[in-house]
Structure 1
Amino acid sequence: MNSNDPFAGLPEVPGFTLTSSTVTDGATLPPAQYSGAMGVPGGADVSPQLSWSGAPEGTKSYAVTVYDPDAPTMSGFWHWAVADVAASVTELPEGAGNADGSGLPAGAFQLRNDAGMAQFIGAAPPAGHGPHRYVITVHALGVEKIEVTAQGSPAYLGFLISANVLARQSIVVTGEI
């Protein structure tokens, strides 16, 4: 990642294996992962399938985030934030980030993204702004429940993740209109 690396300044932690049948690290987002809600033609706001393995011993839960550090804001743009994924869970199906959260495992919940919705919101970079990176990250945590509520912000979740992270792994994809 370049100078606006979302993990710059945070302690380095080990990684683990993260894969997806929906997106490929370094590739362009498929149309379904763009945002129809934000007016992108063909966008469907479908969260990607994610599978992970090899998290360190002591992992008690996971958090999942999708973040655009290239958004034309002073703080990037949070597309999805999921907390309290049980340590026994190693996959989220495609579409798990739907508006009612029915695709999430028991006990997990979504926080409001930067569009104000508790769901996955797809990519919608401004036309002509150039390529944006979407950093899809699974964070292995040393706590069973992170102390954030569904009304908390993804930035606050990130603060709590930093205090409890054992490992993290990202897939970075790009999108452009």
Structure 2
Amino acid sequence: MTVRPPLPHEFLRPVPSFTVTGDQLSEGADLLPEQTYEGGNVSPQLAWSGFPAETRSFAVTCFDPDAPTGSGWWHWLLFDLPADCTALPAGAGTVPFPGLPAKAVHGRNDYGTNDFGGAAPPPGHGPHRYVFTVHALAVDTLGLSPDTPAAAIGGTLAFHALARATLCARHETP
């Protein structure tokens, strides 16, 4: 029997949820080939609504809890999105970052780059879950640098979260 690691927010302080959708991304569905590491690292389109009125900024993350690392794998850490930003076009996390608000900050993912890094589970490891989360935050800016470690960004997001919206897709490398 395979035991799957918990989703990343199960251990955090509970907060209300809101809605996140993607034109080419849906709950439980497979990622598109271009959303994989080998397929181009193209971040998916996302849109969100129903977040708290007191939201002052947003962050978007993608985390793989099934990575065989003991600590999962951060694929995307994007923060300091202004409160009036309620959508990102496909590719906003991919150089040259089309449609990304000017003051948004990409944190360093576990590939060591400051952008969206697509799915790349080890061959034969089975299906992996990719948890895309939009965090509604109580602050205008996290005050973190692009080189802040992913775990520190995640902890700061948890501390300032007013609400979270998640969408969990999957990918498997045969």
- What range is the shorter-chain TM-score in? over 0.9
Instruction: Give a deviation string over 1:118-175, Cα, whole Å, max 9, x none.
Output: 1111000000000000000000000000121111122111110111000001000010
Check whether the contact 1:101–1:110 (CA below 8 A) recurs between aligned residues.
no
2:69 equivalent in structure 1:
73
Aligned CA RMSD, in angstroms, stands at 1.1
Paired position in structure 1 for 2:109: 113
Partner of 1:21: 23
- Equivalent-residue separation in structure 2 for 1:94 and 1:101 (angstroms): 9
After superposition, residues 1-177 of structure 1 pair within 5 angstroms as 3-36=5-38, 43-177=39-173
Aligned mates of 1:135, 1:49 — CA distance in 2: 14
Higher mean alpha-carbon deviation, 10-19 vs 93-102, is at: 93-102
TM-score, with structure 2 as normaliser: 0.94
> Percent of aligned positions with the same letter in both sequences?
48
What's the CA shift for 1:3? Answer: 4.2
Q: For structure 1, list consecutive stretches of 5 or more residues without a partner in the other structure.
A: 37-42
Report the Cα distance in structure 2 between the residues aligned to 1:8 and 1:17, rounded to whole angstroms.
18
Give the Cα–Cα distance (whole angstroms) in 1 for the partners of residues 170 and 5 of structure 2: 16
Distance 2:97 2:33 in 1: 21
Contact 1:99 1:118 survives alignment (8 Å): no
Distance 1:58 1:103 in 2: 24
SS of equivalent to 1:172:
strand
Partner secondary structure for residue 151 of structure 2: helix
TM normalised by structure 1 equals 0.92
Is this contact kept in 1: 2:5–2:65, CA < 8 A? no
Mark the runs of 5 or more structure 2 residues left unpaired by the alignment. Answer: none
Report if the CA contact (8 A) 2:91-2:98 is conserved: no
Report if aligned partners of 2:107, 2:115 keep a CA contact under 8 Å in 1.
yes
